[in-house]
Amino acid sequence: MDNLIEVNDLHFSYGPLKVLKGINLTIPRGKVVGIMGPSGCGKSTLLRHFGGQLHPLRGSVKFMGQVVHELSNDELYKMRLKMGMMFQVSGLFTDLSVYDNLAFPLRENTDLPEEVIRDLVLMKLNAVGLRNARDLMPSELSGGMERRVALARAIATDPPLIIYDEPFAGLDPISLKTIANLIRTLNGALGTTSIVVTYDLMASLEVVDYLYFIHNGVIAAQGSVEEMRNSQNPFVHQFLHAEPDGPISFQFPSKPYGEDLDLRT
């Protein structure tokens, strides 16, 4: 099977707010795929469908050939063991050391002896340049170090799929470049498939093999990095050049401002 994930006509709403309006995309094995779009376009909502936290109103998500929303709780748990996740806010356990944060998924999901877990933890920390930070607490880490620990934990069990949710948010240029290089390097070294969900365009263009742009609940554009750089699509052009005017509106959808003012008089 060439595709690790297949999304077909995915629809989802939060009450009356329609977020996903027919998403279609595929994630090929072994590739780094970027999912981009403005804030609130549904990127994180799409990720929750990948992991089965949300059920679609219509359509489906397949992971390794299985329809995610049709899985039982036990099947869903086993499926999630094949996914690593670098959360938007790192999500480290604040009362555990760096070492124990990485050891946690190995202790929880495997029967490996502690000496093997130790070797694996040090291996992952060494990969992100933080082997000697293993005894620090999350509160003692800088923002960039915290992201690197979160990345190391995401790859702790060598999952077939690693998902990075806004991995570049709030990072200084050096830390951002380091994280971007790590994502690219680790994907090749581990032979995994990676999804990078972000709105940081320049960092993504250095990392991904293929890009999907989400706007207004659908895929507005897709293609290789080179195709997107040369695209004449108005949405892509506005996003690439950070222009204030274009298909992407700054204002959340609403009735005319004047009507709200009239209601107050």
Structural domain for 238, as ranges: 30-49+73-249
- 8 Å CB contact between 199 and 240: no
231 CB-side CA count, 13 A: 22
Calculate mean pLDDT across residues 38-51. Answer: 87
Q: How many domains does the chain have?
A: 1
Tokens 């960092």 map to which residue? 203
pLDDT digit string (tens) for 161-212? 999 888 887 777 877 888 888 888 888 888 899 999 887 777 777 789 999 9
pLDDT > 90 in the chain, percent: 51
Helix residue ranges per DSSP H, 58-200 = 73-80, 98-109, 114-127, 143-154, 173-190
Is 79 a domain residue?
Answer: yes
Q: Which residue from 139, 141, 197, 115 is spatially nearest to 164, judged by alpha carbons?
A: 197
**Two tokens, residue 61:** 């998500």
Please determine, for residue 115, whether its predicted confidence score (pLDDT) is greater than 90: yes
- The answer to whether residue 92 sits within a structural domain is yes
Q: With bands split at pLDDT 50, 70 and 90, how would you rate the model's confidence at 41?
A: confident
- Mean pLDDT computed over 126-140: 92
Looking at the predicted structure, is the pLDDT value of residue 144 above 90?
Answer: no
User: Does 57 map to a domain?
Assistant: no
User: What confidence tier does 67 reach under pLDDT thresholds 50, 70, 90?
Assistant: very high
Residue 223 lies in a domain: yes
What CATH number corresponds to the domain at position 78?
A: 3.40.50.300
Residue 131 tokens, joined: 């082997």
Can you give the C-alpha Rg of the chain in angstroms?
A: 20
The reply to whether 4 falls in a domain is no
In a domain, 208, yes or no: yes
Which pLDDT belongs to residue 137?
96
DSSP annotation of 70 reads: G
Residue burial 225-243, b: 16+ Cβ < 10 Å; e: rest: beebeebebebbebbbeee
Q: Encoding tokens for residue 208?
A: 């991904």
Q: How many residues does the chain have?
A: 265
pLDDT attached to residue 199: 73
> If we measure between CA atoms, which residue out of 115, 18, 13 comes closest to residue 56?
13
The verdict on residue 186 lying in a domain is yes
pLDDT above 80: residue 29:
yes
Q: At what angle do helices 98-109 and 114-127 cross, to 10 degrees?
A: 130
Distance spanning both ends of the chain, measured CA to CA: 62
Residue 171 falls within a domain, yes or no? yes
